[in-house]
Amino acid sequence: QQPVQSPQAVILREGEDAVINCSSSKALYSVHWYRQKHGEAPVFLMILLKGGEQKGHDKISASFNEKKQQSSLYLTASQLSYSGTYFCGTRTGNQFYFGTGTSLTVIP
Amino acid sequence: EAQVTQNPRYLITVTGKKLTVTCSQNMNHEYMSWYRQDPGLGLRQIYYSMNVEVTDKGDVPEGYKVSRKEKRNFPLILESPSPNQTSLYFCASSLSFTGYYEQYFGPGTRLTVT
């Protein structure tokens, strides 16, 4: 039931773009995205809801394909501060499942 | 300041010695949850609580207990810790569990069981 994320890791130079994907074997009603810096707690980035509604970070964009049960996070013109591990999360019943994470490293 | 607090932040203990990790939120959130984080496995839900006195098992509940006697507190209890419970633990809360509300995480508790 844990969503699958890809890629597992990516290294970017400042200013480059990246896409992180999240897919689930279960029907999705919403997808959450969080970022975790090393040694810190995960921090909320975005929620995407069935029907197209979104809430969250104004500098990061994401998509949600309900039919394919997939979501993608788009990081454009990456900055050094974007480095960290990105997790998607999905709800099944009353439980919440996080993906295994995508490590993003932005280098100067 | 709106926050989730956890204590202790670091704990080293021995096998079999009961311990409790406290979690408290000041945002009047209904939903609270405990996760453990292990390398390569992401965050896995241990237990969750929809509201006071309502708790249920998550994905990896074995060896853990919880209680929710007050809305703000959600302690995690390890009655007889074992080395395979060495992990980084996070408590989280959200306004409700409709999928519309984000989770706020505590700072984490790093537990080592020898």
The pLDDT, as a whole number, for residue B98 is 78
- Contact between B47 and B58 (Cβ < 8 Å): yes
Please give the structure tokens belonging to residue A73: 């996070």
Nearest to B101 by CA among B4, B30, B53: B30
Is the distance from CB of B25 to CB of B32 less than 8 angstroms?
A: yes
Given this model, what pLDDT does residue A99 score? Answer: 93
Confidence of residue A97 (pLDDT cuts 50, 70, 90): very high
**On the CB side of B43, how many CA atoms lie within 13 Å of its CA?**
31
Per-residue pLDDT tens for A18-74?
999 999 988 778 899 999 999 899 999 999 988 777 777 767 899 998 888 899 999
CB-CB under 8 Å, B105 with A42 = yes
Q: Write down the pLDDT at residue A93.
A: 82
- The C-alpha of A77 sits at a distance from chain B's nearest C-alpha, in angstroms, of 25
Cβ neighbours of B42 in A, within 8 Å: 2, 87, 98-101
User: Measured between CB atoms, which of A87, A91, A94 is closest to B43?
Assistant: A87
Q: Dihedral of the CA atoms A87, B32, B72, B3 (nearest 10)?
A: 10
Instruction: Give the per-residue pLDDT at A29.
Output: 82
Query: From the list A30, A42, A100, which residue is nearest B41 (CB)?
Result: A100
Identify the pLDDT of residue B106: 97
Q: Considering only alpha carbons, which residue of chain B is nearest residue A89? A: B43
Q: Which of A46, A47, A98, A45 is nearest to B38 (CA)?
A: A98
Q: How far is CA A95 from CA B15, B34, B105, in A?
A: 29, 11, 16
Contact A70, A84 (CB under 8 A): no
Report DSSP letters for A36-72, one per residue: E-TTS--EEEEEEETTS-EEE-SS-EEEEETTTTEEE
Q: With an 8 Å Cβ cutoff, are A98 and B107 in contact?
A: no
List beta partners, residue B89: B36, B109
**Min distance A22 CA to chain B CA atoms (Å):** 13
B43 and A88 Cβ atoms separated by less than 8 Å: no
Q: Are A3 and A96 in contact (CB under 8 A)?
A: no
What confidence category does residue B47 fall into, taking pLDDT thresholds of 50, 70 and 90?
Answer: very high
The predicted structure's pLDDT at residue A49: 87
pLDDT at A67: 87
Label residue A107 by pLDDT band (50, 70, 90): very high
Lowest-confidence pick of A50-54, B16-20, B101-105: A50-54
